[in-house]
Amino acid sequence: MLLTTGICIPLIGAYWIQFVEGEFPCPLCLLQRLAMLGVAIGAMMNLRFGVRTSHYAVTIFSAIFGAAVSARQILLHIAPGNPNGPGYGSPVFGWHLYTWGLLIFMATIGVVGLMMLYEKHFDLSTPASPRPMSKPVMAVCALVIFLTAANIFTTFLMCGLAPCPDSPEQYLLLSNV
């Protein structure tokens, strides 16, 4: 439950920066959000259906994808002569969100790898089926579902059905209203 809750915190922070501070996410930022949602969904599947290696695989593959996207964005902004300046968006505690994203994805890979070393929690003799959830677990699952729906909705408002702009400055579908 800690991994699922923990991955929601940077997503909520990204929405804070988007809506309160007025900074729109770039296409690579949106891909990092998608990867964080993949991490959260893989961890949530463990909460809902019991611990399975396949659920950990969803988490790890999402984190690897997110780390690759984060590293790509970091490399784009540290290149000499970058016409976009030293970084995209305002730094948070001295680092840009994509740098934080890389750290979060790498930590996720490490934590899940350590969790997989504890083989006793893999009971593969019982089928993966829904199990009763406590109220805190249901609240965390509802938060992940809400953040997923919000990400789909806001991305659609910002980009429509076309590719997202490199440096968005408005919601495309709201600017015509």
| CATH number for the domain that contains residue 23 | 1.20.1550.10
The average confidence (pLDDT) of the chain is: 87
Q: For residue 113, give its domain range.
A: 2-175
In this prediction, residue 89 has a pLDDT band, given cuts at 50, 70 and 90, of confident
Q: % helix / strand / coil in the chain, to the nearest 5?
A: 70, 0, 30
Question: What percent of the chain lies above the pLDDT cut of 70?
Answer: 91
Spatial contact of 1 and 47, defined as CB atoms under 8 Å apart: yes
Q: How many domains does the chain have?
A: 1
97 pLDDT exceeds 70? yes
Spatial contact of 100 and 29, defined as CB atoms under 8 Å apart: no
Nearest to 27 by CA among 144, 162, 146, 177: 162
Spatial contact of 99 and 74, defined as CB atoms under 8 Å apart: yes
3-state secondary structure of 51: coil
Of 41-45, 80-84, 157-161, give the lowest mean pLDDT range: 80-84
67 pLDDT exceeds 90? yes
Contacts by residues 134-138 (CB-CB < 8 Å, ≥ 24 positions apart): 136/1, 137/1, 137/47
Spatial contact of 39 and 59, defined as CB atoms under 8 Å apart: yes
Give this prediction's pTM: 0.85
Length of the chain: 177
* Buried/exposed 94-109: b ≥16 CB within 10 Å, e otherwise: eebbbbbbbebbbebb
- Give the model's pLDDT for residue 171: 84
